[in-house]
């Protein structure tokens, strides 16, 4: 019997655990593509979410009490409304809010609209969340919420501009106005672009601290950086930190590149931290990973990042809940498709509004085929954070359909294999390879395997899952990253079904090595 999929569901793994179990941790705290971390502290509880762009379901909410071991609560945005950029989360008067900048796409309420900011709200971080409300703010990304010394609510925006909100936080209460020009780095620094963005507000004592990002989020490894200004009022004037930038990749020899988009916050036992993203040196394919760095305050009240290059183990936030066995971090990525894991493991890339209707459970995950190839089929993807791994899946191919397994960066850049029951199609650099005919046998049941070993991709196929044939081509996918594709995404395992008919997927396995 068909079991229709309804978003959302169960869980995802963070590979390369941060918590070492001995009072220390290693970065990243979230391996793989977890960019623009937005964090909210609510008593002893901490919540995180990340930019989800065109992945749907989006805005997965994660929960922790020790900053190292996180579990997913589920997606806050189950219905696609566009390309979701960096958000901010807050709690005011017992209600939770997420402010969401949207770049319109074909599925947006108005695909021709400018960049817009929406808000959703809920009584619990686990949801249910309200329908998105358009705030009417145009042309800005990266909202940062703050309650001023006057008790009023404000959103700071890229630029840096600011708009006052109504007391319920669901509408604006005044014009958008420019309020801060940003700190300027020396002209000879090698960066992508100035790009003043990511304003986050933190109150400590009598000061409001405004954390921003400049330098661009990709391109040169020394581009992105974290700058700080402060004021006793949300109305300014803003004084720049004399040690700006407080966080930056200074050399391409460092383990983490393009570090930026930070939030300062107080953690357990009064410790202070900065959470931000960065690219792993040599592994931009994994996307922007989430980094956690301790913060100290100098005698003049300015923050100082004290994690060095993040190459060594650092003292863990205390207490670490995992030491008591109360909460692990994530869960395995292998999936037998016996339960729904949409929104916490699997997501559609650039889906239509009714994409879920083509997916259901019936002895596995069944995808109704659509499109002519992976570029227009809305592939089903999951985030991974390992440098070396293998993925395997079994599929049953219906008449008229082609199913397959990919490493998928975007609809313009992917590689892998597809089979239509008669022959195999090989994909490379975002297209079917016209010059290569892999001599795979005709079969309605096919097992596929892809091994990614430090960017070197080897593929296999099998009729029984035991006797494997190596695909005749190997690929190097090191260039499948933002500096090639000009999209802020990551290389991910993906399933696809194109043509007509259906493809049933079973026994998806993931193994890091």
Q: Which entry of 33, 54, 197, 280 is annotated as an active-site residue?
A: 197
Q: Which entry of 36, 142, 280, 340 is annotated as an active-site residue?
A: 36
Cα–Cα distance measured from residue 485 to residue 413, given in angstroms and rounded to the nearest whole number: 7
CA angle 361, 365, 370 (to 5 degrees): 110
For residue 349, give every residue at least 6 positions away whose Cβ sits within 8 Å of its Cβ, in sequence order, or none: 54, 55, 378, 379, 380, 381, 408, 410, 411, 494
Q: Is 36 designated active site?
A: yes
CA distances to 21, 44, 265, 267 from 318, in Å: 12, 12, 15, 9
Full 3-state SS string of 452-465? EECCEEEEEEECCC
Beta bridge partners of 30: 290
Tell me the HSE value of 233 on the side-chain side, using a 13 A CA sphere. 5
- For residue 484, give the DSSP letter: H
SS3 377: coil
Q: Tell me if 477 sits within 8 A of 455, measured CB to CB.
A: yes
Q: Tell me if 35 sits within 8 A of 287, measured CB to CB.
A: yes
CA angle 111, 287, 497 (to 5 degrees): 60
Query: What is the DSSP secondary-structure string of 418-440?
Result: EE-SS-EEEEETTEE-TT----P
* 324-342 burial: b if 16+ Cβ within 10 Å, else e: eeebebbbebebebeebbb
Question: In what side-by-side order are the strands of the sheet with 177-178?
Answer: 144-147, 153-157, 161-165, 177-178
Cα–Cα distance measured from residue 310 to residue 305, given in angstroms and rounded to the nearest whole number: 11
Cα–Cα distance measured from residue 344 to residue 121, given in angstroms and rounded to the nearest whole number: 20
Cα–Cα distance measured from residue 112 to residue 263, given in angstroms and rounded to the nearest whole number: 32
Question: In what side-by-side order are the strands of the sheet with 38-42?
Answer: 38-42, 45-49, 58-64, 71-77
> Catalytic residue positions?
36, 197
């Amino acid at each position: 019997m068909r079991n229709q999929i309804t978003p959302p569901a169960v869980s995802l793994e963070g590979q390369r655990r941060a918590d070492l179990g001995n009072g220390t941790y290693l970065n990243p705290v979230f391996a793989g593509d977890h960019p623009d971390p937005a964090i909210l502290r609510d008593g002893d509880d901490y919540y995180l979410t990340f930019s989800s762009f065109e992945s749907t379901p989006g805005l997965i909410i994660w929960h922790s009490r020790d900053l190292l071991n996180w579990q997913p609560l589920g997606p806050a945005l189950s219905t696609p409304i566009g390309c979701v950029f960096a958000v901010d989360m807050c709690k005011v008067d017992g209600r939770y809010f997420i402010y969401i900048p949207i770049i319109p796409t074909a599925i947006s309420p108005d695909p021709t609209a400018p960049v817009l900011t929406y808000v959703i709200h809920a009584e619990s971080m686990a949801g249910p969340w309200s329908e998105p409300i358009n705030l009417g703010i145009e042309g800005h990304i990266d909202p940062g919420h703050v309650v001023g010394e006057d008790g009023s609510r404000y959103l700071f925006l890229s630029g840096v501009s600011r708009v006052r909100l109504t007391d319920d936080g669901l509408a604006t209460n005044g014009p958008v106005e420019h309020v801060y020009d940003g700190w300027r780095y020396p002209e000879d620094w090698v960066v992508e672009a100035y790009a003043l963005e990511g304003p986050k507000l933190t109150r400590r004592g009598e000061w409001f601290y405004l954390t921003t990002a400049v330098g661009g989020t990709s391109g040169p490894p020394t581009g992105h950086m974290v700058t700080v200004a402060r004021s006793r009022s949300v109305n300014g004037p803003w004084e720049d930190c004399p040690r700006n930038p407080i966080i930056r990749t200074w050399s391409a020899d460092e383990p983490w590149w393009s570090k930026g988009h930070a939030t300062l916050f107080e953690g357990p036992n009064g410790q202070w931290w900065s959470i931000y993203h960065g690219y792993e040196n040599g592994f931009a394919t994994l996307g922007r990973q989430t980094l956690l760095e301790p913060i100290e305050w100098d005698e003049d009240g300015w923050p100082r990042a004290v994690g060095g290059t993040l190459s060594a183990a650092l003292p863990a936030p205390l207490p670490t809940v995992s030491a008591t066995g109360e909460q692990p971090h994530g869960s395995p990525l292998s999936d037998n498709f016996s339960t729904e894991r949409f929104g916490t493991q699997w997501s559609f890339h650039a889906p239509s509004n009714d994409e879920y209707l083509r997916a259901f459970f019936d002895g596995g995950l069944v995808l109704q085929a659509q499109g002519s190839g992976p570029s227009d089929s809305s592939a089903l993807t999951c985030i991974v954070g390992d440098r070396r791994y293998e993925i395997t899946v079994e599929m049953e191919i219906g008449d008229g359909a082609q199913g397959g397994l990919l490493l998928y960066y975007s609809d313009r850049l992917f590689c892998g294999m597809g089979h239509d029951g008669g022959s195999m199609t090989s994909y490379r650099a975002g297209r079917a390879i016209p010059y290569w005919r892999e001599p795979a046998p005709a079969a309605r049941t096919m097992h596929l395997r892809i091994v990614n070993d430090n960017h070197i991709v080897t593929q296999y196929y099998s009729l029984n899952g035991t006797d494997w044939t190596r695909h005749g081509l190997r690929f190097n996918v090191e260039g499948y990253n933002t500096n090639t594709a000009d999209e802020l995404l990551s290389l991910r395992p993906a399933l696809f079904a194109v043509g007509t008919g259906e493809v049933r997927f079973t026994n998806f396995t993931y193994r890091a090595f």
